[in-house]
Amino acid sequence: MKKILAIALALVMVLGLSAVAFADEESYTVGICQLVPHEALDAATQGFKDALEELLPGQVTFDEQNAANDPATCATIVNGFVSEGVDLIMANATPALQAAATATADIPVLGTSVTEYGVALSIDDFDGTVGTNVSGTSDLAPLDQQAAMIQEWYPDAETVGLLYCSNEPNSQYQVDTVQGYLEDMGYTCTQYPFSDSNDMAAVCQTAADESDVLYVPTDNTVASNTGIVDNICNGKVPVFCGEEGICKGCGVATLSISYYDLGYATGEMAAKILTGEQDVAETPIGYAATFTPKYNPAICEALGVEAPEDYEAVELDDGSEDEAEAEGEEAEADAEAEEAAE
């Protein structure tokens, strides 16, 4: 009987200590504002969540919201996070980061899928650390190497069209930089900016008609509407892309990063900041460690070109080409109808 009582007492003590330990664990609420659903941003968000769930198991509650590619909605979302008093905000893409940085100077803000923080936050002579409540990770790939890809694949081309959304400042930064490299190589470059998805088809058609090759940066509007570009360019004009998701939808090749890994690295930052191990103001922007040249086998076949040996094939989803074509035809028809109505 004494042994039974002793065992029971020991179990009570163990359970009691476990309960105390569980009660002592901090819990956190993290607000996630993602600009728009598309493959790259979705992967970054998933990587971020996976990292926090692994490093702080059971301690983090996520409030995940999507702005449907509307910067004004980003502001509404992050202002809601501030009112709720979340412990940290993850801003996925430049407009989300800009909205979060404007909304709060106190809550830690971590960006991801942001190309250039100095450009995004209007910081002159940016040295790699914001120095406020903002830090995060960058999806910037070596732009000189992206330009060199065009020369590697199409050395005899003469004109390169740079297609991008003018409302995305980091897209402007990328095309300006890539244009400089391409012009040094002897190409004639023309920028083809569009304001949103409504005029994207018309601008893309003009760019395709006037260019031997197109370049698209890590542009969220293109990433959400690759079917438009694919419908106009596939088999006719090669498109080089800033990231793999766009390449999968409409491009011939890319030098890309893993957005999942980028988001995971952001989650690792978040865990250290939430637990007080790291000060967000002293946290430098993180960059991808590796870049992989990839090609789209379906588009290469349509163009009648072969990829260099060191390129990996992107993984195409079953039916993705048909879906992209349908998406492109529908978007192009809508754009033509609007133009006719005007």
The strand pair at 253-256 and 292-295 is best described as: antiparallel
Q: Where are the domains of the chain?
A: 27-139+259-278, 143-256+291-341
| CA 50/CA 23 separation, integer angstroms | 23
Q: In the CATH scheme, what architecture does the domain 27-139+259-278 have? A: 3-Layer(aba) Sandwich (3.40)
Give the closest residue to 330 by CA, choosing from 249, 228, 203, 233: 228
| CA 307/CA 293 separation, integer angstroms | 10
Contact call for residues 223 and 245 (beta carbons, < 8 A): yes
| CA 275/CA 52 separation, integer angstroms | 11
| CA 34/CA 67 separation, integer angstroms | 6
CATH of 143-256+291-341, one of 3.30.1370.10, 3.40.50.2300, 3.10.20.70, 3.40.50.970: 3.40.50.2300
Contact call for residues 225 and 200 (beta carbons, < 8 A): yes
Domains 27-139+259-278 and 143-256+291-341 in one fold? yes
Q: List the structure tokens of 279.
A: 């000060």
Contact call for residues 175 and 242 (beta carbons, < 8 A): no
Give 325's pLDDT tier (boundaries 50, 70, 90). very low
> Between 320-341 and 226-233, two packed helices, what is the crossing angle to 10 degrees?
90
Question: Which neighbouring-strand residues pair with 188?
Answer: 159
pLDDT digits (tens, 9 = 90+) for 88-125: 999 999 999 999 999 999 999 999 999 999 999 999 99
Radius of gyration over every alpha carbon of the chain, rounded to an integer in angstroms: 23
The pTM is what? 0.81
pLDDT digits (tens, 9 = 90+) for 197-224: 999 999 999 999 999 999 999 999 999 9
